[in-house]
Amino acid sequence: MSLSLYFHPLSSFCHKVLIALYENGTAFEPCLVNPGDPEERARFLALWPAGKIPVLRDAARDRTVPETTVIIEYLEQHYPGARPLLPADPQDRLDARFWDRVFDLHVQVPMQKIVGDRLRPEGEHDPRGVAEARAALDTAYAILERRMTGRTWVAGEAFGLADCAAVPALFYAGILQPFAGKHPHLAAYFERLAVRPSVVRVIDEARPWFQYFPFRDSMPERWLR
């Protein structure tokens, strides 16, 4: 098989790429990365020294492709499916890339700051940083609520790149800092995302790993069933 994806089922950024792959039924070999295994980690670092997942390996083209947005655009270019994930119109493509960045940088990054702080040893927590991350999430939610008023998808007229980014960002951030009560349009958008078959599949595959999520006790029961 030409394509291999190095990933972990609990990783939010891996979810983004998995959704893109499942949307188009793209064939790939899943390669689970266990960073706790020194030998396995060494093999992965030889592939991508930055050590961050996911990473796509294309044996047919002898290409190693890191970074989620680049992976999805690479798939679009070399392994297009029946459902384009980037709009054909140049301006719409810019919009898609912009909102993709909003979810990655303004939702995922503060979300991961909060999760990372929970994993720190006693005495090494950063309460000020966590408070700033929560404030950043509130700002992002307000921006997204305004954007999703009267819209079905965040960029363009069809599900695409930015929506792939939205799913894991909102999934995990919404557990740490729920948005449904104050942001009905954003909440309705998330519900549309949550019922897509590609998203359902990703969550189903992640479910056995949710026990390791630091905020597992705050997860709604719907995700644990």
Q: What domains are defined for the chain?
A: 3-78 (3.40.30.10), 90-224 (1.20.1050.10)
* Dihedral-angle region of residue 115 (phi above 0 means left; psi in -120 to 50 means alpha; beta otherwise): alpha
- Amino acid in the structure at residue 188: A
Using one digit for the tens of pLDDT, what is the confidence trace for 118-146? Answer: 999 999 999 999 999 999 999 999 999 99
pLDDT band at 111 (very low <50, low <70, confident <90, very high): very high
Q: 77-92: per-residue pLDDT in tens?
A: 999 999 899 998 899 9
- Answer yes or no: are the C-beta atoms of 30 and 7 closer than 8 Å: yes
- Nearest-10 crossing angle of helices 90-101, 68-78: 150
Q: What is the pLDDT of residue 156?
A: 86
Query: So what's the pLDDT on residue 37?
Result: 84
b/e for 37-63, b at 16 or more Cβ within 10 A?
A: eeeeeeebeeebeeeebbbbbbeeeee
Query: How does pLDDT run across 165-218, given as a tens digit for each residue?
Result: 999 999 999 999 999 989 999 999 999 999 999 999 999 999 999 999 999 999
Average pLDDT over residues 139-165: 97
Nearest alpha carbon to residue 176 among 116, 123, 121:
116
At 5, the pLDDT band (50, 70, 90 cuts) reads very high
Computed over every residue of the chain, the mean pLDDT equals 96
* pLDDT score recorded for residue 1: 65
Q: What is the pLDDT of residue 149?
A: 97
**Contact predicate 186/141, CB 8 Å:** yes
Strand order in the sheet with 3-7: 29-32, 3-7, 55-58, 63-66
173 burial class (0-12, 13-18, 19+ CB within 10 angstroms)?
A: buried
Across the range 44-56, mean pLDDT stands at 95
